[in-house]
């Protein structure tokens, strides 16, 4: 691995990108979208205390979404596009190695994707004026955004090396990214709903007088409203039904880029123990899926009323396990494996050529 | 002088059912320009890809300057310069940037790459367009840029795939002089083309490739020595008027002398016969203004070989 050659490849890609007008148009559209989102977020969260955290997280999420939507088109035709333009072989015949070509292109695609994050920076600064944005949140969320951009860039470059046709490799990149971002949610929902457990609900109510509509009281008591001790109780009844077991499949969401971003970012809570930003809200939702459902419920009108407390975000997050590093690990392993496959397909002297392609 | 810069022995390569290269054995000498002659689809480009270390042969072995490009691609790439037939250029880069970038990929440092770019732009005659983006270059200009790119690391072995296509006559003459100079410096040059008149002017040796196979030296020699047409023009009369006196001087039947535009076409079996023929014409007092082979040697050999292959 020779750094000068690696950077020559990356620079070549970046210079060509910089000289196309459409690239700047794209960045302009992106900035316009972010400006709109930031403005709307200020309205949406104006009554929230420490609204800055909520607005900041929204802008980071929109940036991640747009990077996911745009990145495959920027990287997904890199290698096979060069082959079509007959500019790949003249590079392969130089001293540059296949690994350097792939990594140089990956680096360039990553930097290209990061340009979107750079465009988002002013809006993130504006968002933080709302207050409540913590340094740890900024550091971790941006680090994850940078990593996710790199992973998507790597998948795109790899696909362009694996598949011979630019159109298909761009589509395949979208499919892989969609499998992570959307497919994981669909899989989670469908598989979780298919695995069910039998849950029972045992309940009994007080006996009510048909004419007066008042609860019947035990002997000696006149009025037993709100006094379960004195009520005449009915028979216990039991209902059974099936509940989905999302606690068995919560890990399917671990490699979702949006979930990774939420799960990794340290959450700030308000006084009621609720998350203050979108990262925390999503993290709470995903972590809640780890909790097994209550399989035996009781409801007794004749027992003194016990207040059933649902755990708040702070409690749920406190008693469940983080998964972002596993998800990130899976994504990195996937990207690395695809890059290796692309390397094997692009290596010269070529043993086999993809059908229908010429090397030059 | 006679060390082979390029050696291929029993090289085969197929793509699925298509046997692009069936059996190629060739040697190209150092200090000489070797032509690779063959019709479209005869496997010239595939062979050059294998010589250029981009494609692995199914069988056989290749040496570039003594290096096996399969075992040591980096070593082979350091000594070979390859110019593809497809005009691939980075559209938004200037000619100068293209050469500098390629130089950097050949491990030249920045100063060396810049100096080399300036030198090569002048050699291939692109100085005026040095800072114009490649997308505005014409086909011939891109071709010259491709040649400059192949020369950037001063390679000892040059593999040129159709280098003259798209070049204007002046550029073609410049290319010829450049190739002769590079060969004179001791480099090995293999140049493919199906435009034979173009090759004729520049090559020292020729390798014939037909249907993926190199034609043996004996067959080439036999084809080359087979009789061919000579073109004759007399100074003082047109072809029709010249036919009869020429036939008489040679002792031929006038009806067997075809006329093509201003010239008579005479068939001689060997060069010796042709020499005897012109001597007879001169002895007869005919004013011979032009007497030349109607087809170049390469073209003649090639057409004969191809005819034999069919």
Contact B305, B223 (CB under 8 A): yes
Are A76 and A213 in the same domain?
A: no
> Quick one: average pLDDT of B49-53?
94
**Residue B56 to residue A92, Cβ atoms within 8 A:** no
Contact A254, A334 (CB under 8 A): no
Residue of chain A nearest B146, judged by CA positions: A90
Residues 6+ apart with CB under 8 A from B273: B227
pLDDT at A305 over 70: no
**CA-wise closest residue to B105 among A347, A112, A348, A90:** A90
Q: What whole-number distance in Å separates Cα of residue B302 and Cα of residue B197?
A: 11
Cα dihedral value A53, A58, A60, A62, nearest 10: -170
Identify the three-state secondary structure at position A88: coil
Considering only residues A276 and A103, tell me which one the structure prediction assigns the higher pLDDT: A103
A-B contacts (CB, under 8 Å): 95
In a domain, A354, yes or no: no
Q: What is the pLDDT of residues A111-145, one digit of tens each?
A: 999 999 999 999 999 998 888 889 999 999 999 99
Are A168 and A59 in the same domain?
A: yes
Are A145 and A19 in the same domain?
A: yes
Residue of chain A nearest B101, judged by CA positions: A8
pLDDT at A103 over 90: yes
Are A134 and A167 in the same domain?
A: yes
Are A108 and A213 in the same domain?
A: no
**Residue B49 to residue A360, Cβ atoms within 8 A:** yes
Q: How many domains does chain A have?
A: 2
Are A99 and A16 in the same domain?
A: yes
Are A70 and A132 in the same domain?
A: yes
> Quick one: average pLDDT of A98-111?
97
Are A20 and A78 in the same domain?
A: yes
Interface check for B85 against chain A (CB to CB < 8 A): the answer is yes
> Quick one: average pLDDT of A325-346?
96
Q: Which pLDDT does position B310 carry in this prediction?
A: 45
Q: Out of B56, B84, B87, name the one closest to residue A349 (CB).
A: B56
Q: What is the pLDDT of residues A27-66, one digit of tens each?
A: 999 999 999 999 999 999 888 777 889 999 999 999 999 9
Among A92-101, A284-293, B235-244, the minimum mean pLDDT is found in: B235-244
pLDDT band at B215 (very low <50, low <70, confident <90, very high): confident
Q: Out of A5, A15, A353, name the one closest to residue B105 (CB).
A: A5
Distance from CA of B275 to the nearest CA of A (A): 47
Are A225 and A78 in the same domain?
A: no
A-contacting residues in B 255-284 (Cβ below 8 Å): none
Q: What are the b/e assignments for B37-60, b being 16+ CB within 10 Å?
A: bbeeebbbbbbbbbbbbbbbbeeb
* Domain finish residue from A174, A209, A240: A240
Whole-model pTM: value is 0.88
pLDDT band at B33 (very low <50, low <70, confident <90, very high): very high
Q: Which pLDDT does position A354 carry in this prediction?
A: 63
Q: Out of B69, B87, B106, name the one closest to residue A349 (CB).
A: B69
In a domain, A315, yes or no: no
Q: Is the peptide bond before B112 cis (omega within 30 degrees of 0)?
A: no
Q: What is the pLDDT of residues A207-227, one digit of tens each?
A: 887 777 777 777 766 777 777
pLDDT at B306 over 80: no
Q: What are the structural domains, with CATH classification, of chain B?
A: 4-215 (3.40.50.300), 225-308 (3.30.70)
In a domain, A312, yes or no: no
Considering only residues A79 and A357, tell me which one the structure prediction assigns the higher pLDDT: A79
Distance from CA of A63 to the nearest CA of B (A): 29
pLDDT at B168 over 60: yes
Residue whose entry in the numeric block shows the structure tokens 């990149």: A173
Q: Which pLDDT does position A306 carry in this prediction?
A: 67
Q: Which pLDDT does position A357 carry in this prediction?
A: 61
pLDDT at B9 over 50: yes
Q: Residue B212, by phi and psi: left (phi above 0), alpha (psi -120 to 50) or beta?
A: left
In a domain, A336, yes or no: yes
Tell me the residue range of the domain where A221 lies.
197-240
Q: Which pLDDT does position B90 carry in this prediction?
A: 93
Q: Which residues of A fall within a CB distance of 8 Å from B132?
A: none
Number of Cβ atoms within 10 Å of the Cβ of B260: 11
Q: Which residues of A fall within a CB distance of 8 Å from B91?
A: 16, 85
The pair phi, psi for residue A69, each rounded to 5°, is -75, -35
pLDDT at B308 over 60: no
Are A66 and A149 in the same domain?
A: yes
pLDDT band at B1 (very low <50, low <70, confident <90, very high): very low
In a domain, A130, yes or no: yes
Q: What whole-number distance in Å separates Cα of residue A153 and Cα of residue B176?
A: 46
pLDDT at B217 over 90: no
Q: What is the pLDDT of residues B225-280, one digit of tens each?
A: 777 788 899 888 888 888 888 888 888 888 888 888 888 888 888 888 889 999 99
In a domain, A256, yes or no: no
**CA-wise closest residue to A206 among A224, A184, A188, A179:** A224
Distance from CA of A117 to the nearest CA of B (A): 26
**Residue A90 to residue B88, Cβ atoms within 8 A:** yes
Q: What is the pLDDT of residues A136-182, one digit of tens each?
A: 999 999 999 999 999 999 999 999 999 999 999 999 999 999 999 99
Q: Which residues of B fall within a CB distance of 8 Å from A19?
A: 92, 133
In a domain, A310, yes or no: no
In a domain, A353, yes or no: no
Q: Which residues of A fall within a CB distance of 8 Å from B78?
A: 95
A-contacting residues in B 92-131 (Cβ below 8 Å): 92-93, 97, 101-102, 104-107
Are A177 and A33 in the same domain?
A: yes
pLDDT band at A356 (very low <50, low <70, confident <90, very high): low
> Quick one: average pLDDT of A175-200?
95
Q: Which pLDDT does position B12 carry in this prediction?
A: 94
**Residue A359 to residue B49, Cβ atoms within 8 A:** yes
Are A74 and A206 in the same domain?
A: no
């Amino acid at each position: 691995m020779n750094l000068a050659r690696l950077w020559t490849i990356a620079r070549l890609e970046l210079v060509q990108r910089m000289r196309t007008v459409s690239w700047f148009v794209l960045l302009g559209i992106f900035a316009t979208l972010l400006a709109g989102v930031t403005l709307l977020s200020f309205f949406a969260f104006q009554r929230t205390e420490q609204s800055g955290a909520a607005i900041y997280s929204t802008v980071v999420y929109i940036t991640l979404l747009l990077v996911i939507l745009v990145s495959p088109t920027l990287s997904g035709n890199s290698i096979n596009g060069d082959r079509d333009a007959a500019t790949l072989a003249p590079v392969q015949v130089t001293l540059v190695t296949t690994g350097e070509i792939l990594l140089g292109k990956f680096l360039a695609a990553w930097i290209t994707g990061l340009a979107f994050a750079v465009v988002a920076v002013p809006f993130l600064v504006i968002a933080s004026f709302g207050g409540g944005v913590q340094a740890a949140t900024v550091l971790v969320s941006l680090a994850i955004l940078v990593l996710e951009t790199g992973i998507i860039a790597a998948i795109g470059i790899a696909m362009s090396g694996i598949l011979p046709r630019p159109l298909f490799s761009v589509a395949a990149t979208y499919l892989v990214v969609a499998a992570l971002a959307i497919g994981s949610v669909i899989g989670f929902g469908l598989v979780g709903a298919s695995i069910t457990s039998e849950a029972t609900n045992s309940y009994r109510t007080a006996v009510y007088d048909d004419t007066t509509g008042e609860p019947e009281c035990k002997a000696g008591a006149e009025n037993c409203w709100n006094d379960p001790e004195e009520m005449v109780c009915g028979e216990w009844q039991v209902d059974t039904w099936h509940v989905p077991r999302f606690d068995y499949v919560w890990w399917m969401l671990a490699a979702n880029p949006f979930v990774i971003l939420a799960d990794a970012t340290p959450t700030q809570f308000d006084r009621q123990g609720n998350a203050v930003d979108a990262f925390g809200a999503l993290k709470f939702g995903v972590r809640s899926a780890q909790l097994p459902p209550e399989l035996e419920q009781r409801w007794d009108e004749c027992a003194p009323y016990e207040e059933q407390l649902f755990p708040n975000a702070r409690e749920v997050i406190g008693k469940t396990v983080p998964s972002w590093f596993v998800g990130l690990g899976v994504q990195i392993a996937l990207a690395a494996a695809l890059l290796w496959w692309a390397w094997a397909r692009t290596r010269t002297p070529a043993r086999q050529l993809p059908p229908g392609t010429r090397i030059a | 002088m006679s060390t082979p810069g390029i050696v291929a022995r029993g090289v085969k390569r197929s793509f699925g059912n298509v046997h692009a290269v069936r059996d190629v054995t060739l040697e190209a000498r150092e200090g000489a320009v070797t032509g690779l002659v063959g019709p479209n689809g005869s496997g010239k480009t595939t062979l050059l890809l294998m010589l250029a270390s981009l494609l692995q042969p199914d069988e056989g072995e290749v040496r570039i300057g003594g290096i096996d490009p399969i075992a040591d691609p980096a070593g082979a790439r350091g000594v070979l310069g390859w110019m593809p037939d497809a005009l691939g250029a980075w559209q938004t880069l200037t000619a100068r940037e293209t050469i500098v970038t390629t130089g950097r990929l050949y491990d030249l440092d920045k100063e060396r790459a810049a100096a080399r770019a300036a030198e090569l732009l002048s050699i291939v005659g692109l100085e005026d367009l040095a800072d114009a983006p490649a997308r505005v270059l014409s086909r011939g200009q891109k071709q010259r840029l491709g040649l400059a790119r192949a020369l950037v690391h001063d390679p000892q072995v040059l593999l040129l795939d159709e280098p003259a296509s798209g070049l204007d006559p002046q550029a073609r003459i410049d290319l010829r002089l450049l190739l002769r100079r590079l060969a004179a410096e001791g480099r090995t040059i293999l140049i493919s083309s199906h435009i034979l008149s173009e090759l004729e002017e520049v090559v020292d040796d020729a390798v014939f490739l037909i249907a993926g196979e190199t034609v043996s030296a004996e067959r080439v020699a036999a084809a080359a020595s087979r009789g061919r047409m000579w073109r004759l023009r007399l100074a003082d009369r047109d072809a029709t008027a010249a036919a009869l006196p020429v036939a008489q001087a040679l002792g031929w039947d006038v009806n067997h002398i075809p006329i093509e535009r201003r010239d008579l076409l005479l068939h001689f079996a060997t060069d010796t016969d042709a020499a005897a023929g012109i001597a007879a014409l001169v002895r007869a007092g005919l004013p011979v203004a032009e007497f030349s082979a109607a087809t170049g040697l390469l073209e003649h050999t090639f057409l004969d070989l191809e005819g034999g292959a069919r």
